[in-house]
Structure 1
Amino acid sequence: MTTLSTHLVVALAVLAGVAVGVAALSRLGTARSNAVAVARAVGQLALVSLVLTAVLGRVTWSLLFALVMLSVAVGTSARRIGAVRAWPWVLVTVASGAFPVLVVVFASGAVPWNGAGIVPVAGIVIGGAMTASSLNGRRCFAALREERDTYEGALALGLPVPVAVRLVIGRHRAEALVPGLDQTRTVGLVTLPGAFVGVLLGGGSPAQAGAAQVLVLVGLLAAQTIVVVVGSLLIERGLLVPEDLRPATRVQVRLSRPVPD
């Protein structure tokens, strides 16, 4: 089990140096971002560890902490896809996937309804929903920019805006699910994800670890699938749109409306 020690500090320092050094030497342009990410991870996890000591003892505080995680996830995804002003719709997207999965997990009794169950499971599911929202938004918006001629051609033929958008983004939506699908398909053969390792390090049996990991992976797959579907529908209706596409979207909407006699 990993503990706070000099060995941990040395390992972290070496790994952080590798991440920053390789990025700098290869001119990836992410050296500073890597360094900031490492510093933030250390600081945030240290703070969270202190907060969780008090939070895990009460369900109310655990739920409030889960809401904080949701708000951070929404803000992160909104910035990542360039749709900061559309954050309420990003909230709808992320929550649409996370909420039903968490209801099933806790209502079924698969995970105990207490702080120790709420915080980690909510964090995993909300994090997966955030990732799917970001991946889907970035890929769909890139497609709309790259295939503008297809979009405008569909409008010129008289197709409604949602249908024209769907023609462009339809075949790209599933790409946001590739990481989750690959992880689910190869679990135990290529990787042993966090939930499995966490249960083992906590003293659980391999069977308990496997059950926990299957629940997490299937829950993530369900949440991310819902997120992609809901997010795509909001994009098609022009509700979840990045800043640079807003003017063009308004013009296209006007052009697609029938001209009165």
Structure 2
Amino acid sequence: MKLISWNVNGLRACVNKGFNDYFKESNADLFCVQETKLQEGQITMEIGEEYEQYWNCAVKKGYSGTAVFSKIKPLSVRYGIEENHEEEGRIITLEFENFYLVNVYTPNAKRDLSRLPYRLEWEDRFRAYLVELDAHKPVIACGDLNVAHQEIDIKNAKSNVGNSGFTAEERAKMTELQAAGFLDSFRHLYPDREGAYSWWSYMPKIRERNVGWRIDYFLVSVKLKSAIVDAQIDAHVMGSDHCPVVLEIGLDEK
């Protein structure tokens, strides 16, 4: 089974920059997107009839939002964490026979860290939610988690210490999440690979020089560890300030 996650930073703009070509070429069983930045009905996706579409749009226009395109019909779909709705459209959970898929766009702490307290509270709720799901069946959680976990996951670690996405608090929450039973699939397979990033600033020459951060993940329940086949970062794919990340896993839901 092939899964892809991509923060598209505005789906309508990304569609105009080659999204559909990549989508068709990748032929994923499950394709998750974050930061769609649109409301229901604002776009018609030409992705083929074999895909079911699930959308969680933010109440605020042009902000946040997630979507999942699935070849496999889920047993159930849930929007949000505690309730079946949350105003920023950050989470979609699809339940399948053998696992849960959670597509998430984690809140940014903001440059001035004004949203860090909310971010940390979110992290605790999110971790508890995944643990709750994992008690019933294994979980695959993917998306823009807005944190570079270790120094190897960011180009200029020392100069970014304390910045949004690389604070001690945010990194500690990722450590807690992994300790709760969820593997970083990429680092599980490639613990020492340097220069592997999924986000780059739009500043001139930054992406060209690969001055990036790895903040997009596939986290997998430890109980699925032996099923992980590969995890990749499609850094060559343009269209957003993020690139797609890919998980191949030995699960048969067809």
Shorter-normalised TM range: 0.3 to 0.5
Which structure would you say has the larger Rg? 1
TM-score by length of 1: 0.33
TM-score by length of 2: 0.34
